[in-house]
Structure 1
């Protein structure tokens, strides 16, 4: 801002310099040789500078306040809301804490905390962690951490998380950046992308398994062997 103000004053003095009434020829000639920057050094910019600094302080204060508000908005609250059994909620749910769903929700669920489901969800779900036990979920599940699909749970939709433990039934693709564990009672109809997969005896999979997030790339490994 100060540079802009200086530039504006430079433009105002960039014209023809005229001699002052009490100025002799030598002083006038010397002043004509000054650059606009040298002229600005002799000008009083104090009042304008204080104004610009005041505006800058206001802008910085505003930015800090916005950042503080943003952090407050993303703070996870240690609170748990409960949708009781027998209750049906139609509409989206958005919360900064945890939610336990024992009843039925027809809409999207988006939380900063944990989502525990033993009821029914008809819509996409997003939370820090998702635990389903005896649940019926129709919609995509996205978790920053772990997704656990317990026995007697049915999920019709894709699953994305950092890690996953599946003991129920999932009809959809599973995309996990870390490990996936399929328990003996797991039934998966869809492709699995993960860093590693543990398939316990009895688990059923209809789809492709790819450890695309593993540290070792099989294609590169065998290409290197052939090259040798």
Structure 2
């Protein structure tokens, strides 16, 4: 019995410290009726839990000032793919012959792919080196080196340099270097380059931000836009010639 008496006094003191000015009746209710009889452990634990909950509410109430410590915000967790996308570096960009921003091409390799005569390929072809087409391609052709066509191409082409030798091409020709259209070549499509020499037949517009030479055997059905143009005797041009890339301000010449 002395053990429970001491426990009662210690418990009352603890409650008094947590709740100043509070009475001891709640603590006495927990202990007084159980000192002389059998103790129901489950019941007493339940009562203690309820009492501690009431004490906690009083301590956390606005009447009792509390100090709250702000916790630093945890960084937002991101998935592996989001992190990978953020750290992914963009490929260097450059300007194409039309002045549009385009992805920079990898450096051209020394490899030279040859499509031999009698071979026909249906589908797009891409190479880091040069391509020589002696056969026939039905599809787009792109290479980082020189594209030489001596056969047939039915599709658009993109290269660092272009040369048509008695070729038959139906599609747009785009090169970042010089476009050379040899005698006997027929191109149905626009040509975009930095410089051009035309000795064959072209049905389409020619857009060159450098010089253009239209040779004696050339036949052009389309407009020519360039920095300068040289038309040799015997060439046939059906279209307009404009030196819009020239350094001369044409309007200022006629200013009065």
TM-score (ref. length: structure 2): 0.61
Which residue, out of 78, 88, 97, partners 2:120?
88
Once the two structures are superposed, the pairs formed by residues 162-173 of structure 1 within 5 Å of their partners are 162-173=194-205
Say what the alpha-carbon RMSD is for the aligned residues. Answer: 3.0
Q: Which runs of 5+ in 1 are unaligned?
A: 1-16, 21-35
Q: Deviations over 1:73-120 (max 9, x none)?
A: 723221110000111111111111110000111111112221001111
Greater gyration radius:
2
Question: Counterparts of 1:110 and 1:188 in 2: how far apart (Å)?
Answer: 25
Q: Cα deviations across residues 155-207 of structure 1 (Å, max 9, x unaligned)?
A: 11111111100011111110111110011111111110001001111111111
Q: What is the aligned partner in structure 1 of residue 217 from structure 2?
A: 185
How far does residue 219 in structure 1 lie from its aligned partner after superposition? 2.3
Task: Tell whether the 8 Å contact from 2:189 to 2:205 is kept in structure 1 after alignment.
Answer: yes
Matched, 1:176 2:208: yes
Q: Give 2:229's aligned residue.
A: 197
Unmatched 5+ residue regions in structure 2?
Answer: 1-64, 93-102
Q: Which residue of 1 aligns with 2:34?
A: none
| Alpha-carbon separation, structure 2, partners of 1:206 and 1:99 | 32
Aligned residues: 178
> Aligned residue for 1:136?
168
Alignment pair present for 1:149 and 2:145 = no
CA distance in 1, matches of 2:105, 2:205: 32
TM-score by length of 1: 0.69
Higher helix share: 1
**SS of residue in 2 equivalent to 1:219:** helix
Conserved 8 A contact 2:105-2:144? no
